Structure formats: structure tokens, C-alpha cells
Amino acid sequence: DPRRQAAAEGPEEGVSPMTAIINATLVMRDHLIPNGVLLMENGVITAFGESRKMTIPEGCEIIDAEGRYVGPGFVDIHCHGFPGGRCHTSAESFADYHLKHGTTGLLGSIYRTLSHTDTLAGIELIRNAMLKYKNLLGVHMEELLVLQGQSMNIGLYKVAQEPKDKRLLYYAQRLQRAA
């Protein structure tokens, strides 16, 4: 888990390792916690609760939510584009748009109708954008590759018998390991 690795490596230079989000309405699975506090260390949530029951560590960076809602992120595992573009042609704008609209993790879905060359170019574009945008988690290859006439999911990718399709799978697996 990259977040756990970041926590183990410690904070970036000049950044407080602890952050407290105060005056938040925390969104829980089945209820809200008004006037809540969320504590994070190196980007990993360590504690949360009602402000009257929480102690904010000394030296913490304080973020005042001013009553705004703070809740779990939204992960979209099948997303082709955004107003004005597609993930395989505008990957950075795609990731930026979705992050600004609350999607904290997404997979760019490659159209099954793209040519082999355009598919590889789209994967490469998404791979490069992943270096800058941490909300861009990888590639979803929509019914692109077929095994004996039927789709077979292996992780987020489809597998095939054709040599060019095996190359796509290999490339997708390398992308997943590099992320």
C-alpha cells in the first residue's frame, strides 16, 4: 500500500507529519459526526471522533473544515472521460477534472474499439499521468481482449490468446507493478 510506505518514509521536508481536520461533519457508514476531528499522520488516518473527545497533538497542521462534510473518497473503476476529453487522449486533464469533482481514485477505461496502436498509446499516456496525479490508479481495459470467445478477468485486465493481445496484457501488468 503506497500510503503505508509514505507513512514509513516520514513526511516530506517542511511538512508536518500530523494533520488535524477540525470543525468537520464526518460522514460515517450509517451516521454523521457533527463538529468532528480527523487526525492523519503522513496522510494515513489515525483517529477521528467528536471534537470534545479528541486531543489534537501539539505541532499538528490544522485544517478548519468550517462545518463542511469530510468522508470517504470515491473510487471509479470504469471511467472513459470528462467534459471535453477522454482518458486515453487527455489523461492529465482527465485526472485533474475528476479529482476536483470528488473522485479520489479512478481507472481510465480504454475503449474496446480503439486500434492496437491507439490502445498502447492511451496506456502510455495514462501511465505517464499517474506519475503526477495520484488519483489516477491505472487502466481498465473494457472487454478489449478475449480468451476463447469469452472474457476472463485477471485483476483489472482481460487476457487473450493472440500475440498482440498478450503484449497488451504484459504492458498492462508492467503498468500495474510500476504504480
**pTM (2 d.p.):** 0.53
Question: In terms of DSSP bridges, do strands 32-41 and 18-27 run parallel, antiparallel, or are they unpaired?
Answer: antiparallel
- What band does 30 get if pLDDT is binned at 50, 70 and 90? confident
Over range 3-7, report the average pLDDT.
41
pLDDT tens profile 66-102: 999 998 888 888 889 999 899 999 999 999 999 888 8
Report yes or no: 95 and 140 within 8 Å, Cβ to Cβ.
Answer: no
Residue 7: how many CA atoms within 13 Å on its side-chain side? 12
| Lowest-pLDDT choice from 10-19, 54-63, 141-150 | 141-150
What is the average pLDDT value for the chain, to the nearest integer?
Answer: 77
SS3 call for 43 = coil
User: How many angstroms separate the CA atoms of 77 and 108, rounded?
Assistant: 8
Give the DSSP per-residue string, 90-143. -HHHHHHHHHHTTEEEEEEEEPTTS-HHHHHHHHHHHHHHHTT-TTEEEEEETT
pLDDT at residue 62 tops 80:
yes
- State pLDDT tens for residues 120-170: 889 889 989 998 988 898 888 765 443 333 343 333 333 344 444 555 555
pLDDT the model gives residue 150: 39
Per-residue confidence (pLDDT) for residue 168, from 0 to 100: 55
